[in-house]
Structures are given as C-alpha cells and as structure tokens.
Amino acid sequence: MKNIIFNKFLLLAITLFIVSNCGISRVNYNYEHRCIGTARQGVQLVEVFSYGKTVGKAIEASKRNAVHAVLFKGLQCSDGHQPPIARDSDAEKHKAYFEEFFSSGKYLQYVTLSGDGTIDPSDRIKTDVGYKVGIDVAVNYDALRKKLESDGIVRSLNHGF
C-alpha cells in the first residue's frame, strides 16, 4: 500500500516538474496602472500597483509592469491617450523576443526613475498571499519605441505616410 502511494506521489512530482519547466511563461502580469503624466519629452510617468510575495518582489514587478503597460496596454493620460507601442499582432508574432526582453531584465534600461524608495504607506497593502505595492515609475517611451523599431518588432510612426 505504501509503495502505491509513494509511486503515485513520485509520478505527480515528476509530472509537475516537467510541466513547470516546459517553457511556459510563469510571469504574472496582474497589475493596475494609471498615467500620472509626462515627466519630460518622451518619458511617461505611470503609477503601477503590482503583487508579490514580498514588498521587494512587488516593487520589481511594478517596474516590469510599467513597461508592459506602455508596450501593450497604452496609457490614458489627462493630456490624451498614449496608444500602446506594440499591437496584439506584434506581441504574438514576436513572443520569444518579448519573453527574453522581460526575463533578461532588458526592460530596466527604459525605467528612468522609480519611486521604490518612497512608498506611501497607503500604497503598501498586505494580502493573503503577499503584498500589493504601488509605485510611480518613469518609462522612457521614446527610447523604447526606437529600440523596437530598430529591432524590426514594430513599424515606425512615419511608415506608410
């Protein structure tokens, strides 16, 4: 009887190991964002609330999620709508590029300033599974767009005019 239970447990453990390492992205892009405004020409200020098991993990996720919002969701600012840099078709066609972009930390090159050292106590919320933390992040929109254009991921703004 113990052998049967042990074998089932072992099979379950092996299955979970294989599934968890088969290349499926486990990045959670569960976040809330809002545009605060433009810091200077080409830099967007974004307030991002992200989740993490620790405050530090939530802060790092907020930086990643700010870039993700600029890339794929766009920003609704008081001075108008800032459309997403990449369309859904770009994201699907270049999925490997974006997975490597985020997993390698290259996105941090476009985070020019973050308020992770000065978190308002009301922006740090303890949840059942960790923390929800909100920070302000400045994302260099223009530099990010130029990089994606030079890499052939998105078309330039003057393409087709």
Query: According to the model, what pLDDT value does residue 25 have?
Result: 42
pLDDT in tens, 54-63: 999 999 999 9
Q: Which of 142, 123, 155, 102 is nearest to 55 (CA)?
A: 123
Cα gap 158→91, rounded to integer Å: 20
Q: With 50 as the cut, is the pLDDT of residue 24 above it?
A: no
The string of pLDDT tens digits covering residues 89-146 is 888 899 999 999 999 999 999 998 777 777 888 889 999 989 999 999 999 999 999 9
